[in-house]
Amino acid sequence: MDRLLVVGAGPKAMAVAAKAHVLRTLGLPAPDVTVVEPHAVGGNWLATGGWTDGRHQLGTSPEKDLGFPYHSTWARGHNQAINEAMMAFSWSSFLVERGTYAEWVDRGRPSPQHNVWAKYLQWVARKIDLDLVAGSVRKISAAADGWLVTVADADGVTSEIDADQLMITGPGNSGRALADHPKVLSIAEFWDLAGKRKLPVSSRAAVIGGGETAGSAMDELVRHDVLTVSVISPGATIYTRGESYFENSLFSDPAKWRALSIDERRDVMRRCDRGVFSVRVQESLLADNRVHHLQGRVVRVAEQGDGVSLTLRNDLRPDQQHNFDLVVDATGGQALWFLDLFDADAADLVELAIGGPITQARLEASMGHDLAVDGLDAKLYLPNLAGLAQGPGFPNLSCLGQLSDRVLATTATSPVAVNAEPARSGRP
C-alpha cells in the first residue's frame, strides 16, 4: 500500500489521517498515512508553536471540524457510509466523550480556545492510532518513485522515510521578523513575552499584518499597557470577515468555485480571506479608542532613538514615516517556506512540472483537483496554495472533509475495490 507522508500534525493532517482510517475500516483503499511533527499534534494551536498563546479563541466555528461539510464525494455508493463514519471524529463527538456537550450547547456554542482545538486534534490522533513520527522534516529529495524525506528528532538524530506521496501543511516558521532589532518582535517572540507578562512597556505599538495572526496579536496587545496600537496593512481598511450564508458557502462547498473567473475569485478572497479580522476580533477592537489603522506596505525599518521608524509605502502617495517603541511582525506565514527543504533534484522536478522557476503564482496555477501539483508523477499535495485554483476553503479550516476527499480520491484507482461494496443508502 502507498505511503502518504504529511509534514506537520495540524488539522489538515488529522483530516486526511482520519478519513484514511475510515476508508480502511469500510474496506476501501487508502494510503498508509504517516505524519511528522516536531512539537505535538495541533502544535501550532499551542503556545509552543509560536503562533498563539493557546488562550485566544478560534475564529471559525468548531463545527467546521475534520469531517466538515460531511458531504463526501469520495466514491459513489460509499459516500453516506463515509459521512456517518467520520461523525465519530467530529467536534460534537469529542465534547460528548468529554461530557461537556450539553454545557457547550447551553452556553451558545462558543468558539473554543486554540489549546482546546489542539486537544480535539489530539483526541482524534489517539482514536485512530495515528502513525506519528516525532521530529522535524529537514530535507526532501526525489526518489525513484516518490520522495525521500529526512527527519531530525529532538536530539538532532536524522532518519529517512520513503514516501510515495507528500503533503505539506502549515505556515512555516513563526520566528521570522521584518528586522533584527530588539523592538521588532517576531510573532513567536511576541507570544513568548506576552505569556510571561514581560512585553516591554510601550506608548506607541504597531502590529504589521491584516490577517488572523495580526488579529490575535492585536486582541492580546490591547490587554497590556499601551497608549496606542496601530495595525498596519496595505488595504484601505481592515475588513470584517463576511460571514453571510453566501460568503460561507463558497468556502464550505468548492464546487461552484471553478465556474468563477480568476478576477471574481480574487475579489472573493480579498473580501473574505485576506486582510480581514473575524467579527469577534473586530468587535473587541472597535470598542477600544487606542486602536488605529495605518495603510501601507512597510518598506524600511530604521533605528530611531529608543524605538524604530517604519517607512510606509502607498502607490499614489509619498512615503510616510511613523515612529514606534514596539513593533510586532504579524505578517503571517510564508507561502513557500517548504522550498527550503527541497534539494536541487526535487526542486528541478517541481520546476519541470510547473514550466519554469518556482514562484507562488506558478504553483497556485498548477494546483489540480486533487490539490496536488499537476504534472508531477509523485504526488505533492499543497492545499495551502490551492485556494485560487480549487476553492478558498482549502488553505484553512472551512472544508477539511472536502480536502481529505480530494487528497485521498487519487488512491481510489481500482474500480473493483471502490464499487465492490453495495450502496448503504440511496443518497450519493
Ligand X SMILES: Cc1cc2nc3c(=O)[nH]c(=O)nc-3n(C[C@H](O)[C@H](O)[C@H](O)COP(=O)(O)OP(=O)(O)OC[C@H]3O[C@@H](n4cnc5c(N)ncnc54)[C@H](O)[C@@H]3O)c2cc1C
Contact residues for ligand X, defined by CB under 6 A: 7-13, 36-39, 43-44, 49, 51-52, 58-60, 136-137, 169-171, 212-213, 216, 384, 396-398
> Could you tell me the smallest distance in angstroms from the CB atom of residue 371 to ligand X?
12
C-alpha cell at 225: 499597557
> Could you tell me the smallest distance in angstroms from the CB atom of residue 59 to ligand X?
3
- Nearer Cβ to ligand X, position 68 or 324? 68
> Could you tell me the smallest distance in angstroms from the CB atom of residue 173 to ligand X?
7
Q: Work out the burial of residue 144: count CB atoms within 10 Å of its CB; fewer than 13 is exposed, 13-18 middle, 19 or more buried.
A: exposed
d(CA 68, CA 14): 13
> Could you tell me the smallest distance in angstroms from the CB atom of residue 51 to ligand X?
4
d(CA 363, CA 47): 31
> Could you tell me the smallest distance in angstroms from the CB atom of residue 15 to ligand X?
8
> Closest by alpha carbon to 69, among 345, 397, 371, 418?
397
> Could you tell me the smallest distance in angstroms from the CB atom of residue 70 to ligand X?
17
d(CA 65, CA 324): 40
- Nearer Cβ to ligand X, position 24 or 55? 55
Are the CB atoms for 385 and 360 separated by under 8 Å? yes
> Closest by alpha carbon to 135, among 161, 173, 174?
161
Per DSSP, the residues of 267-332 read HHHHHHTTTEE-HHHHHHHHT-TTEEEEESEEEEEEEETTEEEEEEEETTEEEEEEEESEEEE---
Return the residue matching grid coordinates 453571510: 244
- Nearer Cβ to ligand X, position 49 or 391? 49
According to DSSP, residue 237 is labeled: S
> Could you tell me the smallest distance in angstroms from the CB atom of residue 276 to ligand X?
11
Residue 8 host element (H or E): none
For β-strands 326-329 and 131-134, DSSP reports them as unpaired
Query: Which residues does 296 contact at the CB level (< 8 Å), separation at least 6?
Result: 232, 234, 312, 313, 314, 320
Are the CB atoms for 397 and 387 separated by under 8 Å? no
C-alpha cell at 166: 507528500
Return the residue matching grid coordinates 517603541: 325
> Could you tell me the smallest distance in angstroms from the CB atom of residue 383 to ligand X?
7
Cis bond upstream, residue 69 (ω within 30): yes
- Nearer Cβ to ligand X, position 13 or 350? 13
- Nearer Cβ to ligand X, position 52 or 202? 52
C-alpha cell at 366: 498548477
For β-strands 32-37 and 3-7, DSSP reports them as parallel
> Could you tell me the smallest distance in angstroms from the CB atom of residue 78 to ligand X?
25
- Nearer Cβ to ligand X, position 388 or 418? 388
Query: Which residues does 247 contact at the CB level (< 8 Å), separation at least 6?
Result: 268, 271, 272
- Nearer Cβ to ligand X, position 307 or 332? 332
- Nearer Cβ to ligand X, position 206 or 418? 206
> Could you tell me the smallest distance in angstroms from the CB atom of residue 10 to ligand X?
2
What residue type is assigned to position 109 of the chain? R
- Nearer Cβ to ligand X, position 55 or 293? 55
- Nearer Cβ to ligand X, position 28 or 166? 166
Neighbours of 71 (CB within 10 A): 18
> Could you tell me the smallest distance in angstroms from the CB atom of residue 48 to ligand X?
8
- Nearer Cβ to ligand X, position 59 or 67? 59
